[in-house]
Amino acid sequence: MSGDKRTLLFIGPKNPILEEVRPQLEDSGIYNIHETTFKSHDSQEIVKYLPWVIVFTDARECSKFMNVYGNVIKKTESKIILVTEKEASKKILHANLRFKLSEYLYGDVKAKTLMHKIQFQVRSLPNISNDDLQKIATTSQHLKEITKADSGPKYEVETPAPKDEPEGPQYEFGPSKKKEKVVPHYESAPVQKKKKQDVQVSDIKGEGEASEAEIKKKAQEIGDILGVSVSRLKIGKNLEEESRMELDQEKIATFYEDNFVKVTKLEEVFDGFEVEFEDKSYLAQANFLLNDLKESSLDAGFHELALFCELARAISMRLSVVEDESFGVVVIGILFNTAEFIKSELEQIKSRTGAPLRENPNKVLFNRFHWIETKFESIEAPPGQHFPNLGKIMLLLGI
């Protein structure tokens, strides 16, 4: 419902990372920024900017807003990003999960990271006609105003019925100490070391035991994707856990230091490519680094991490034939987030956390891989080249 430029909503108190990102967004010539707080916002003004991409800087304000505008958020598939300097309380985050956050960032967030996430969410907005947006804005029951002594807008909202399969980022839940209810859990807890068993393969999603034939089949598929002999692989549900727990501290430290440097270089390569999109030599550098990370992970026994690096390389290879710069920049942003994900895995390995890769707290990234897969369906490899199968790699990773 806005003009040619996309208007982003910044809601909440001042935040250093938003102040750093603001000039980049405004200088791009693509975005306007409407800044307000929940207490002082004008509902008639903000509905002009539907569908929304909103960046909140306070979890409580985010929760209040989502409670009021939940129906509009769902109907317009608006995108909600929460950025806080410290991790918000689980109680507040649980309230926000009623409508699902599109993104949640806290702590030492890089301006580049936030910029990429905003660009991705803008790109993910649905195509809704102005007439439909106007109808949603004027007929929804989200604006039933009630009178109270407190200042600021107050509204009554019908509680939406829970969906069987909610969209957006998924979180793990565990029991609260005080009450028998579930609360979000954002950090993978260290897993106790288990007795090493013979080679065992779960089914694709890591549930149940597989037959010997299925074990051989999956091992062969992984070997084919990674380009290694099956004899080099150990396949099992707790594979990463066993590898991370069994390496001695000195080897883990060496693995971390060597590969942290590579991933940092990988981030620099993606940064450079974003600026010089026509120069595809950046992707050749990225593919070299990702292959090096894959081989290093294989040598250490971190086969899931090796598969993940191969997934990133498969995306990078496809990007080499993309000519649409606006789409390409979004994919670069996802690849940059992928490099950050690999860094987070290195941190978990360094701390000897045995949780599998698919339980990484940053697993919201997996949704973007599926989005990329659909966008890349029509892209074919140039003559003489082969693109690894994105869907098969994700299936083997269980993501």
Written in H, E and C, the secondary structure of the chain is CCCCCEEEEEECCCCHHHHHHHHHHHHCCCEEEEEECCCCCCHHHHHHHCCCEEEECCHHHHHHHHHHHHHHHHHHCCEEEEEECCCCCHHHHHHHCCCCCCEEEECCCCHHHHHHHHHHHHHCCCCCCHHHHHHHHHHCHHHEECCCCCCCCCEECCCCCCCCCCCCCCCEEEECCCCCCEEEECCCCCCCCCCCCCCCCECCCCCCECCHHHHHHHHHHHHHHHCCCHHHCCCCCCHHHHHHHHCCHHHHHHHHHHHHHHHHHHHHHHHHHHHCCCCCHHHHHHHHHHHHHHHHHHHHCCHHHHHHHHHHHHHHHHHCCCCCHHHHHHHHHHHHHHHHHHHHHHHHHHCCCCCCHHHCCCCCHHHHHHHHHHHCCCCCCCCCCCCCCHHHHHHHHCC
pLDDT the model gives residue 81 = 92
Examine the domain organization and report whether 313 and 390 are in the same domain. yes
Examine the domain organization and report whether 150 and 236 are in the same domain. no
Phi, psi of 35 (to 5 degrees): -110, 135
Examine the domain organization and report whether 49 and 137 are in the same domain. yes
Residue 28 lies in a domain: yes
Examine the domain organization and report whether 341 and 230 are in the same domain. yes
d(CA 90, CA 228): 43
Examine the domain organization and report whether 126 and 38 are in the same domain. yes
Residue 104 lies in a domain: yes
Residue 313 lies in a domain: yes
Examine the domain organization and report whether 253 and 126 are in the same domain. no
Nearest to 237 by CA among 204, 214, 213: 204
Is 310 exposed, middle or buried (CB count within 10 Å of its CB: 0-12, 13-18, 19+)?
Answer: buried
Residue 162 lies in a domain: no
Phi, psi of 104 (to 5 degrees): -135, 120
pLDDT string in tens for the chain (399-residue length): 545 789 999 999 988 989 999 998 988 888 999 999 998 988 888 888 889 999 999 988 888 888 788 888 888 889 999 999 888 877 777 655 555 788 888 888 888 889 888 988 888 888 887 777 777 766 554 444 433 334 444 444 444 444 444 444 444 444 444 434 344 433 333 333 333 333 334 433 444 555 667 767 777 777 777 777 766 666 554 444 455 556 678 888 888 999 999 999 999 888 888 888 888 888 888 999 998 899 888 888 888 899 899 999 999 999 988 888 888 888 998 999 999 999 988 988 888 766 777 777 777 788 888 888 898 888 888 887 888 888 888 888 888
Residue 22 lies in a domain: yes
* Residue pair 245/301 in contact by the 8 Å Cβ criterion: no
Examine the domain organization and report whether 64 and 138 are in the same domain. yes
| The pair of three-digit structure tokens given for residue 22, joined into one six-digit string | 């603001």
The CATH number of whichever domain residue 83 belongs to comes to: 3.40.50.2300
How many folded domains does the chain comprise?
2
| The pair of three-digit structure tokens given for residue 187, joined into one six-digit string | 């950090």
Beta bridge partners of 104: 82
In angstroms, the first-to-last Cα distance of the chain is 36
Question: CA 59 → CA 52, 69, 161, 270, 315, distances in Å?
Answer: 18, 15, 22, 31, 34
| The pair of three-digit structure tokens given for residue 85, joined into one six-digit string | 């300097």
Residue 13 lies in a domain: yes
* Residue pair 365/335 in contact by the 8 Å Cβ criterion: no
Task: Name the pairing type of β-strands 103-106 and 79-84.
Answer: parallel
Examine the domain organization and report whether 130 and 219 are in the same domain. no
Describe the strand order of the beta sheet including 103-106 as a list of residue ranges: 31-36, 6-11, 53-56, 79-84, 103-106
132, 156, 180 - which closes a domain: 156
pLDDT the model gives residue 339 = 92
Residue 167 lies in a domain: no
Host domain of residue 306: 212-397
- Rg of the chain over Cα atoms, rounded to whole angstroms, equals 23
Examine the domain organization and report whether 122 and 254 are in the same domain. no
156, 178, 203 - which closes a domain: 156
Residue 169 lies in a domain: no
pLDDT the model gives residue 10 = 94
d(CA 56, CA 103): 10
156, 175, 203 - which closes a domain: 156
Examine the domain organization and report whether 121 and 251 are in the same domain. no
Examine the domain organization and report whether 245 and 393 are in the same domain. yes
pLDDT the model gives residue 315 = 93
* Length of the chain, in residues: 399
| The pair of three-digit structure tokens given for residue 164, joined into one six-digit string | 């069987």
Examine the domain organization and report whether 139 and 227 are in the same domain. no
